[in-house]
């Protein structure tokens, strides 16, 4: 039996797509073939669910340097930063400080867990940049590295160095793989493996009417929903502005904003609530916070919206909506283009385009037959292309090859 240790280094006090993706992968893995452990860098609400799967969870503390510091308030310092040689020196100094205070202590702690678990392979869930300490820990323990890249990251010389020492890089989409290659990432091997969602987990436990009643939605309401942690780049404000534009034509339209507030998004969340009040949408836009019953909430929606204003690497909520037969409106950038065929398995709009989103929502709310037809086609497509069994088979092969090699 191979021992796989997953490392999930995300922070911010929320459960994001990277951790959710690993959770669904673990749900599908053959536990007679693999023994699984998980390392988290902060406490997460998903830990009871991992425990229910028999996953041993470890916690590693990583100190994080503050992004801001006192010198930034001085004009002279900011002007000096714009000088090439000075900027390079400052960046080198910060990287050295980060290595000494963040990466090496965390790598040492993680190495102890790897040895304790006797891991045959380590799956780093957050890419070369966020998991640099994980790369170091695996090199210290001579453990094969599978590094999962799930975003369009900023790369420097240290990530290029790390990539050459990584046994396998797994990219969520071809868009991410192309991005990595264009920036000089040279792992020993690289593959694209699409994430998946366990359809058994997606089965709603309550009726749409019951969920709507709990959330205070009128029985006759047409409901649009955006799911995801509340951060500016996720585009909740674009959805709010679009709802305001169609409010007169669709007086029964309501909107659910579902997701916890990331620590970096607290000011944005407060501004978002103020904007709803300014637009007269109090009572029509509902902030419901983090929900564990995501399938029930999606079940209660008429339209699922993905509104990220910059390229989304994948977009798990898109896949969840498609698998539940909902019409999905998403922004046409990044890995999203590999999930949706416009007008056939969903609808694509330009990122940040309020008018385009409003027009698409108006069209779907005014034509429920079209919405149902596209949702049905989306479900068929998603089941064919993004099945959990396919992801598990591909990742199991990667783990086995890493152990053998």
* Per-residue model confidence (pLDDT) at position 294: 94
pTM for this prediction: 0.84
Q: Mean pLDDT, to the nearest integer, of 12-18?
A: 80
Confidence of residue 405 (pLDDT cuts 50, 70, 90): confident
| pLDDT bucket at 13, cuts 50 / 70 / 90 | confident
In 349-404, alpha helices (H): 354-366, 368-385, 388-404
Q: What is the pLDDT of residues 274-295, one digit of tens each?
A: 999 999 999 999 999 999 899 9
| Helix 17-28 vs helix 316-323: crossing angle, to nearest 10 | 50
What does the H/E/C string look like for 167-194?
Answer: CEEEECCHHHHHHHHHCCCCCCCEEECC
Q: Count Cα neighbours of 220 within 13 Å in the Cβ-side half-sphere.
A: 3
For residues 281 and 256, the answer to whether their CB atoms sit within 8 Å is no
Rounded Cα distance between 63 and 82, Å, is: 28
Q: Categorize the per-residue pLDDT at 2 as very low, low, confident or very high, splitting at 50, 70 and 90.
A: very high
Summarised one tens digit per residue, pLDDT across range 148-158 is 999 998 899 99
Within this chain, domains 2-196+388-404 and 199-385 share the same CATH topology: yes
Question: How far is 126 from 146, CA to CA, in rounded Å?
Answer: 11
Q: Determine the pLDDT at residue 149.
A: 95
% of the chain exceeding 70 in pLDDT = 92
364 in Cβ contact with 335 (< 8 Å): no
Q: With contact defined as beta carbons under 8 Å apart, do 155 and 128 qualify?
A: yes
pLDDT at 82 exceeding the cut of 90: no
Can you tell me whether residue 39 is helix, strand or coil?
Answer: strand
pLDDT per residue as tens digits for the range 230-260: 999 999 999 999 999 999 999 999 999 999 9
Burial class, 27, CB count within 10 angstroms (exposed 0-12 / middle 13-18 / buried 19+): middle
Per CATH, which fold does 199-385 belong to? Answer: Rossmann fold (3.40.50)
What is the rounded distance in angstroms from the CA atom of residue 297 to the CA atom of residue 227? 9
What's the pLDDT at 11? 81
Give the per-residue pLDDT at 78.
Answer: 57
Of the pLDDT bands very low, low, confident and very high (cuts 50, 70, 90), residue 62 is confident
Residue 210 has pLDDT above 90, yes or no: yes
The pLDDT tens digits for 323-372 are 999 999 999 999 999 999 999 999 999 999 999 999 999 999 999 999 99
Angle between helices 17-28 and 388-404 (to 10 degrees): 80
The ranges assigned to domains in the chain are 2-196+388-404, 199-385
pLDDT at 27: 95
Confidence of residue 84 (pLDDT cuts 50, 70, 90): low
Rounded to 5 degrees, φ, ψ at 336 are -55, -35
Among 211, 13, 364, 308, which residue's Cα sits nearest to residue 317? 308
Per-residue model confidence (pLDDT) at position 97:
73
Q: Taking the domain 2-196+388-404, which CATH number applies?
A: 3.40.50.2000
| pLDDT for 7 | 97
Q: How far is CA 182 from CA 132, 168, 236, 360, in A?
A: 20, 17, 31, 34
């Amino acid at each position: 039996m191979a021992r796989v240790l997953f490392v999930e280094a995300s922070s911010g006090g929320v459960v994001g797509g990277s951790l959710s993706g690993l959770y669904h992968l673990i749900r599908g893995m053959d536990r007679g073939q693999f023994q699984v452990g998980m390392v988290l860098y902060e406490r997460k609400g998903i830990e009871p669910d991992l425990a229910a799967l028999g996953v041993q969870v470890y916690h590693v503390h990583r100190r994080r340097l503050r992004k801001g510091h006192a010198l930034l308030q001085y004009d002279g310092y900011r002007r000096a930063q714009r000088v090439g040689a000075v900027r390079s020196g400052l960046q080198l100094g910060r990287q050295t400080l980060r290595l000494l205070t963040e990466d090496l202590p965390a790598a040492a702690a993680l190495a102890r867990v790897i040895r304790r678990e006797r891991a045959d392979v380590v799956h780093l869930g957050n890419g070369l940049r966020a998991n640099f300490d994980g790369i170091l820990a695996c090199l210290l323990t001579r453990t094969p590295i599978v590094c999962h890249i799930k975003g369009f990251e900023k790369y420097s010389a240290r990530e290029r160095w790390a990539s050459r020492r990584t046994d396998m890089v797994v990219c969520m989409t071809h868009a991410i793989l192309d991005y990595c290659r264009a920036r000089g990432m040279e792992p020993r091997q690289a593959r694209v493996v699409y994430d998946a969602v366990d359809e058994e987990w997606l089965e709603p436990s309550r009726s749409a009417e019951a969920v709507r009643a709990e959330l205070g939605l009128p029985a006759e309401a047409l409901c649009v929903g955006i799911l995801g942690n509340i951060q500016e780049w996720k585009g909740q404000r674009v959805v709010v502005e679009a709802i305001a534009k169609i409010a007169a034509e669709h007086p029964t339209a309501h909107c659910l904003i579902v997701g916890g507030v990331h620590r970096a998004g607290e000011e944005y969340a407060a501004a978002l609530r103020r904007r709803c009040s300014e637009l007269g949408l109090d009572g029509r836009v509902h902030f419901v916070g983090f929900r564990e019953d995501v399938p029930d909430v999606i079940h209660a929606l008429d339209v699922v919206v993905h509104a990220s204003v910059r390229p989304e690497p994948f977009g798990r909520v898109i896949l969840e909506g498609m698998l539940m037969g909902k019409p999905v409106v998403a922004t046409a950038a990044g890995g999203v283009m590999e999930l949706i065929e416009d007008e056939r398995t969903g609808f694509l709009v330009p990122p940040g385009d309020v008018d385009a989103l409003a027009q698409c929502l108006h069209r779907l709310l005014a034509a429920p037959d079209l919405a149902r037809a596209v949702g049905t086609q989306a479900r068929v497509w998603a089941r064919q292309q993004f099945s959990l069994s396919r992801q598990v088979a591909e990742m199991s092969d990667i783990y086995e090859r890493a152990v053998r090699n």
